[in-house]
Amino acid sequence: MFFLRRHTLPGFPLTFGITLLWVGLLVILPLLALILRPWQDGTAAILQTLHDARVFAAFRVSFGCALLAALLDLPLGILLAWTLVRLRPPGYKIINACIDLPFAIPTSVTGITLATLYGPNGWMGKLLAHAGLQVAFTPTGIVIALMFVGLPFLVRTIEPVLQNFPLEVEEAAFLLGATPFQKFYRVILPAILPATLSGFGLAFARCIGEYGSVIFIAGNQPFRSEIAPLLIVMRLQEFDYSGATTIAVMLLFTALFCLGGVSFLRQRASRGLIMEETK
């Protein structure tokens, strides 16, 4: 009966059916196969993977570095979005294109470039070595690689909100004597908070499963700088499909939980803005 009703949009049943088919074949079916695969070998194989100390160490490195990278990207993303929208600096188009660069180039190219730059013989690596700091082949290098990958998500989610935010509101706050911090905290931050939460969630979820840009600079030392996606590849090379898919399912549910939590917080923040505007 649903498809027999007439709709104002021409071709709605056809387009709706194509959408469901696309989502089912390319999204739902692969995810369902991933979730069901570990159970084919029984719960014993799953428990063996989950009780592996190396797996937990890899989760700790992946989640910890992803969270730290997303948190460090927060002020950078807000600052870059503000600069692009309000200041329009010289070379605006070049800066704007560079922000989208992590989306365009292969992640392995990013990893090789960062490893070359921050390696012992790299330009930045040599300078940091004189100061007694080592970035490449440490968790610090993982954080830098993840910051590079996650930054565009924050900038591109905050930028449209700032573009639509009236400049007159900021000018009014300035005329009323608000300090720069007060103007940001009380005027700008409430407006961009839902978008900021969305960008943070997307960046964190992307960083959890990042592989190509990390393995070249991580060092891949077990219990120190080994990430969970690398452990999946190693399990596959060992033909341990149950272990690989178990780790993958853990990453999948963590990313889904993160996105769901961020969506809930974004809705709460949006309701707060609406309530304040209606008072």
For residue 1, is it within any domain? no
pLDDT at 6: 58
pTM of the predicted structure, to 2 decimals:
0.84
Say which CATH number the domain at 236 has. Answer: 1.10.3720.10
Same domain, 129 and 248: yes
pLDDT at 45: 75
Same domain, 21 and 62: no
Average pLDDT along the chain, 279 residues, taken 10 residues at a time: 55 80 83 81 79 90 94 94 87 86 87 88 85 87 93 93 86 83 86 90 90 88 90 89 88 86 79 51
Same domain, 84 and 21: no
For residue 2, is it within any domain? no
The token pair that represents 211 in the structure block: 């592989």
Same domain, 15 and 146: no
Same domain, 163 and 146: yes
Q: How many domains are there within the chain?
A: 2
Same domain, 108 and 185: yes
pLDDT at 57: 92
pLDDT at 131: 83
Same domain, 12 and 98: no
Cβ(144)–Cβ(137) under 8 Å? no
Same domain, 102 and 233: yes
245-250 contacts: CB < 8 A, separation 24 or more?
245/34, 245/37, 245/38, 246/38, 246/45, 246/46, 246/49, 246/50, 247/49, 247/55, 247/58, 248/34, 249/34, 249/35, 249/38, 250/59
For residue 188, is it within any domain? yes
pLDDT at 277: 47
Same domain, 27 and 49: no
pLDDT at 274: 43
Same domain, 185 and 157: yes
pLDDT at 279: 47
Same domain, 80 and 179: yes
Range of the domain at 209: 43-277
